[in-house]
Homo-oligomer: A and B are copies of this chain.
Amino acid sequence: MRLFQVETPCLVLEKGKLQRNIERMHSKVARLGAGLRPHLKTAKCVEVARMALAIQSGGITVSTLKEAEYFLDNGITDLLYAVGIAPVKLDHVADLIRRGAELTIILDSLDQAKAAAQRAQMHGITLPVLIEIDSDGHRSGVKPNDILLIEIGRMLHHSQGLQLKGVLTHAGDSYGCKTIDEIQRIAAQEADAAFRCAEGLRHAGLPCPTVSVGSTPTATYATNYAGITEVRAGVYMFSDLKMAGLNVCNVEDLALSVAASVIGHQRQKGWVITDAGWMALSSDRGTASQTIDQGYGVVCDIEGRPYPDLIVEGVYQEHGIIARRPGLGKELEWHNFPIGSTVRILPNHACATGAMHDRYYVVNGTTEVMAIWHRINGY
């Protein structure tokens, strides 16, 4: 099967680029002496997880219990669920642990720790827990200097059914950086906060075997992981225009795109209409705040070569509008876009675009579809 025979819109995954992205991040993190715990929130696909685990030992990170269950069902047992635990999910967590998962949860409050202890005791399991640290003020976590860290640590360590496993932080602020220097500063701050909290727990006589940090930008530009045991990153596998805008990768490294069919022309307006709207691309406008606003994505030919002047300017549920970048006028090379022809769109945000589809059409530098890989979504 060739790409132009596949019903559009659909996800296209370049296997060679994926492999190179996986190898690059693995080498980078290994060079700094830490382990990589790949985050599967972007791919949500066991074939991709296996590629990421083929060059290393260790487990993965997930963003939902549905992912945890899916990967467990596919034989991956070492799982970190890296979203602060909601008590209503603890029975599901216990069920996965009874079924063989080495599943770690995270939390940042005494109330969560109490609920976790209560459910772990009720189910007769031991639940490993990381304390979430807020290293950059962007979202969740205990502040590094807050005494609450030690209080939670003590409760986890002394509660039957719980195992204090360490600390975790995520430097989400790195996504908004303007320069590589800024990413490096946030990477240092992320590692420093996690390390200081680990030391704080140890000085209080508490165990802290795991010190977990990460985001794709900080993992790419970190220069020192002394005291850090594991690094979590996910979007590096596929990468996207947001990451390219951060100089975390080149546009040529992007492994994921959406194939779309041309279904109309509005010549006076300079528009090519495709069948890839927000339902296929997502509404993510993550590059809007960057130096180059990529609209809803960069337009490529069917083999994945970008048209430098073309972006998806607008989206409706099942329609995308391709136009030249602002200021370049309305004169498209119409012969490149006959009705029924296929284009590919590079996404702003691979996690968001991937989530709109249930499978990948896997290619490797040509339009030949080598495989179809399924992925999961939702809850």
Contacts and interface: CB of A to CB of B under 8 A. Distances in A.
Nearest to A356: B378
Contact of A273 (B10, B140, B283, B317): B140
A245 to B, nearest CB: 17
Interface in A95-141: 108-109, 111-112, 115, 134, 137, 139-140
Contacts of A84: 263-264, 273, 275, 319
A278 B41 CA distance: 13
Contacts of A339: 87, 109, 111-112, 115
A352 interface: yes
Contacts of A291: none
A85 B140 contact: no
Interface in A49-107: 63-65, 83-89, 92
A296 to B, nearest CB: 11
Given A266-B140, A283-B284, A317-B41, A261 B63 contact: no
A86 B339 CA distance: 8
A264 B113 CA distance: 12
A377 interface: yes
A351 interface: yes
Instruction: State which size class the interface on A falls in.
Output: 35 or more
Contacts of A263: 83-86, 112, 140
Interface in A266-308: 266, 269, 273, 275, 278-280, 282-285
Contacts of A336: none
Given A112-B339, A339-B115, A87 B261 contact: yes
Nearest to A109: B339
Given A5-B88, A84-B319, A355-B356, 17 more contacts: A6-B88, A7-B88, A8-B88, A9-B379, A41-B318, A84-B263, A84-B273, A84-B275, A86-B263, A86-B275, A87-B340, A88-B261, A108-B264, A111-B338, A112-B340, A115-B340, A357-B378
Interface of A: 4-10, 41, 63-65, 83-89, 92, 108-109, 111-112, 115, 134, 137, 139-140, 172, 261-266, 269, 273, 275, 278-280, 282-285, 316-319, 321, 338-340, 342, 351-352, 355-358, 377-379
List 9 tightest A-B contacts by C-beta distance, closest first.
Answer: A86-B261, A111-B339, A87-B340, A84-B263, A283-B283, A83-B318, A140-B264, A63-B318, A358-B378
